[in-house]
Amino acid sequence: MGTLLVKNIHTLVTMDGDRREIRNGAMFLRDHVIDQVGTTAELPDVADRVLDLGDRHIVLPGFVNTHHHFYQTLTRVIPAAQNCSLFHWLEALYGVWGNLTPQAIATSAQLAAAELILSGCTTASDHLYVFPNGSRLDDEIEAIEATGLRFHASRGSMSIGKSKGGLPPDEFVEASEAAILADSQRLIETYHDNRRHAMLRITLAPCSPFSVSPDLLRESAALARSHPGVRLHTHLAENHADVTYSREMFKMTPGEFAASVGWLGDDVWHAHCVKLDDDAIAEFGRTGTGVAHCPCSNMRLASGMAPIRKMLAHNVPVGLGVDGSASNDGSNLLNEARQAMLMARLREENAAAMTARQALELATIGGARVLGRDDIGAIAPGMAADFISFNLDQLALAGAHHDPVAGVVFCQVNQVDHSFIHGRHVVENGQFLPLELPHLIERHNQVARSLVDGA
Q: How far apart are CA 169 and CA 138, in angstroms?
A: 24
The reported pLDDT for the residue numbered 196 is 98
The strand pairing partners of 37, in sequence order, are: 27
* Contact call for residues 386 and 151 (beta carbons, < 8 A): no
Q: How far apart are CA 200 and CA 205, in angstroms?
A: 16
* Contact call for residues 60 and 14 (beta carbons, < 8 A): no
The reported pLDDT for the residue numbered 455 is 61
Q: How far apart are CA 63 and CA 215, in angstroms?
A: 34
The reported pLDDT for the residue numbered 211 is 96
The reported pLDDT for the residue numbered 1 is 73
Q: Which residue ranges of the chain lie beneath pLDDT 50?
A: none
Q: How far apart are CA 231 and CA 333, in angstroms?
A: 22
Task: Enter the DSSP assignment of 448.
Answer: H
Q: How many CA atoms lie within 13 A of 146 on its CB side?
A: 14
The strand pairing partners of 387, in sequence order, are: 61, 420
Which domains are delineated in the chain? 3-62+375-429 (2.30.40.10), 63-370 (3.20.20.140)
The reported pLDDT for the residue numbered 452 is 85
53: left (phi over 0), alpha (psi -120 to 50) or beta: alpha
Orientation of helix 102-118 relative to helix 437-453, angle to 10° = 130
**CA dihedral over 308, 312, 314, 316, signed as positive or negative:** positive
For 348-405, the pLDDT digits (tens) are: 999 999 999 999 999 999 999 999 999 999 999 999 999 999 999 999 999 999 999 9
* Contact call for residues 326 and 297 (beta carbons, < 8 A): no
Of 361, 359, 288, the C-alpha closest to 16 is: 361
Q: Give every CB contact of residue 427 below 8 A, 6+ residues apart in sequence.
A: 117, 118, 388, 416, 417, 418, 419, 433
Task: Enter the DSSP assignment of 40.
Answer: T
Q: How far apart are CA 402 and CA 11, in angstroms?
A: 12
The reported pLDDT for the residue numbered 324 is 95
